[in-house]
Structure 1
């Protein structure tokens, strides 16, 4: 195999070691662990190089700064490699995969996020298989998008949700079928892939963006959240019940939403349900959101919604433009119709 893949190691459980304070990444340790995996040097594997970040991070500490670094690492090495594998902690992997799916415009090569639930040095680590299979997938020239591989499933990056804190099948794709399954062979489903883009490859860096997320629950008092709805808030994501329903036992929420929109805050409605889509106006309890001018998050994950909003504001769009764009399918993150 003549393909070349770049491994970008950002940190995460896969390369951690035990310390008195719990698992932590250790500088320079991971490359030595890779040398012990002889299958990585098989003729059936693509050639690969390792870029190790400094500092290595637990993914709980990932921010837009690291997203920009990952995107620019790919940009700087884009012509040298056929694909990229990003090793990342699982806790925020779905956010990072979503973010890069938007940032990497005109992407014509596979970018595969993976990691592990058990450190690579452990006997039962899932990291070995996740890494080997991700490298093989990253050599597939038919894939032109950011994906997440974990537990034998290849998922579109901006459709992924972490659904298990300790299971080896840690991620799900609630509203879109998987792109591939790995068994005895890797079974691809090309009809589910994004088409190869026509525009040239470029990176849009993320900028600091003020985004709030409110998860509704029975008996919620919206007046508690009123202080965050000010002119500095650029976007507000509401995780609502069912198809976009909100409680109407008092009159607190509609004025809050109206105030947000008057302040040029983009308001986006998502659902708390793992599967299904937002349909504003289907029930009386969601009609007020539609009348107030909130946008529908359709069947996007919260991870995709938050990172998409940050991307759109980073592009320089106004709040009104963002409300229009957020309902459009940019990278396969939502289903139209």
Structure 2
């Protein structure tokens, strides 16, 4: 029988009603789990619960909490066959992306999940998400950080939150599901990462100054000049389509050049959930490439942000970070 560690960080799945709305409550969640008969089924793996302190709404998750979860997995790696991380949905894709980079040579499943409706409510989707995630975590076919929600198992660093109120809250727009859970759990062997060689390595994150700018019609690029200082290590710019910016890029390009000279790495992602950035495919994007920006290809913004944190935390210089932002490290992009 497999042994699985459930890491409960907070989030909707374990929240209770309070006068100020749903909120996590320390010490409450274990009793909720023990009330689910299926978790005691002989078909289920053995599991233990580790409750983080403090429990957080995922909107309050930071690099500090990413480090705590990654360290917990690393320290308990030899004692368990897989890990389930219960997490709020708002920033789950960011945490999944971060963990995928922090845990190099991961040979066991790390499955992030949660719910849109708390377990304390009648129509909660939490029990099914948790039960299926435990079964996946006990399966030897998964060797990566993934996210299970609403019947789909997805690569963690390929996901983005799609719906605020639907039960299929996450999409993986540029990569197929790793598995689909119906009457049975049907894995997609061609999508799964192979078992790695070598021992697990942990790289903790530093709270590196990173920014995100979303381009919109009429944007005044000059307003962002003040933040483009030598303190800003990385920035993700969400452009139109395949990497296009408004025609008045003359105000942006000198800012980008100056930022790159200061050591800032600028990565271009698309506002379109599906598809890839192709700098130079249109005249409206060629100037970005000439100014020193790097294409994020089909990475999600969540993955690009986590990757910048990771690469700078490794101690690489800006030229190496720029080069590696265009390389596939954990299946986060299609090259």
Same fold (TM over 0.5): yes
Residue 190 of structure 1 corresponds to which residue in structure 2? 189
Matches within 5 A, 1:1-337: 2-249=1-248, 251-336=250-335
The TM-score, its normalising length taken from structure 1, stands at 0.99
SS of equivalent to 2:267: strand
Structure 2 CA distance, aligned partners of 1:302 and 1:294?
Answer: 15
- How far is the alpha carbon of 1:19 from its aligned partner? 0.4
- How far is the alpha carbon of 1:112 from its aligned partner? 0.1
SS of equivalent to 1:53: strand
Deviations 1:46-81 (A, max 9, x none): 110100111100000000100000001101110011
- How far is the alpha carbon of 1:199 from its aligned partner? 2.3
Structure 2 CA distance, aligned partners of 1:291 and 1:333?
Answer: 25
Structure 2 CA distance, aligned partners of 1:104 and 1:250?
Answer: 39
SS of equivalent to 2:190: helix
SS of equivalent to 1:190: coil
- How far is the alpha carbon of 1:250 from its aligned partner? 5.3
Structure 2 CA distance, aligned partners of 1:201 and 1:160?
Answer: 23
Structure 1 CA distance, aligned partners of 2:289 and 2:44?
Answer: 52
Structure 2 CA distance, aligned partners of 1:250 and 1:281?
Answer: 14
Q: Number of paired residues?
A: 335
- How far is the alpha carbon of 1:249 from its aligned partner? 2.7
SS of equivalent to 1:258: helix
After TM superposition, the runs of 4+ consecutive aligned structure 1 residues lying more than 6 A away are none
Structure 2 CA distance, aligned partners of 1:260 and 1:87?
Answer: 38
SS of equivalent to 1:232: coil
SS of equivalent to 1:213: strand
Deviations 1:172-214 (A, max 9, x none): 0000000000001111111111111112101100001111110
Q: Which structure 1 residue ranges, 5 or more long, are not aligned?
A: none
Structure 2 CA distance, aligned partners of 1:205 and 1:296?
Answer: 25
Structure 2 CA distance, aligned partners of 1:288 and 1:10?
Answer: 43
Q: Which structure 2 residue ranges, 5 or more long, are not aligned?
A: none
